[in-house]
Amino acid sequence: KQWYQRRVRGGMSECWYFSYGSNMSPLQLSKFSQYTDVKPARLNGWEIKFDHADLFDDEDPDNGIWAVDPVNTGICSIARAPGCCVYGVAYKIPVSSLAVLDEHEGSTYYRHQMSIQMLSEGEYRGSVTCEVYVGFLTRQEPHRRPTRRYMDMLLAAKEFLPSQYFERLEKIETFL
């Protein structure tokens, strides 16, 4: 919270947010934030994993995404992996939306600033600092896999993902 307050006082009204999970879907992100720009992006040195246990509230009607089998269902996170990369979507969002995203991501993710590359003129280039949520290692369990509904949210970002990466996501085994 102190970092957030410093950034607002510093005069920044917007920041870049990199999503590699369900928030890649503009419809999903719109539940938490508006955005003024969106670009395909890549995070080098990391890989996507679907082994993250999520804490959810049975009273929440949106939990149909995860609640098919709470013991075995996983959502995605990222793990350091030299030579790998994670593709996703970079959104320019109001800094004030970070507090809302922090609450949504809950106690299972932490927000970290990382450098990403954005697609420009057909190539990933440059380096932009953005906000990225990384799952706590204590919540990762290798036997987990995503639900079909959760994967469909990731696949909704097809226009922002390289075709090979999209095809890889399509092949991931899911629950119903």
pLDDT tens readout for residues 116-147: 999 988 899 889 999 999 988 766 777 788 88
Q: Residues 53-93: pLDDT tens digits? A: 765 544 454 544 545 566 777 889 999 999 999 999 999 99
Residues 6+ apart with CB under 8 A from 59: none
**Could you tell me the two tokens for 4?**
């957030």
Contact at 8 Å (CB) between 77 and 134?
yes
- Indicate the pTM of the whole model: 0.85
Buried b (16+ CB within 10 A) or exposed e, 47-82: ebbbbbbbebeeeeeeeebbebeeeebbbbbbbeee
Supply the pLDDT for residue 7: 45
Contact at 8 Å (CB) between 41 and 119?
yes
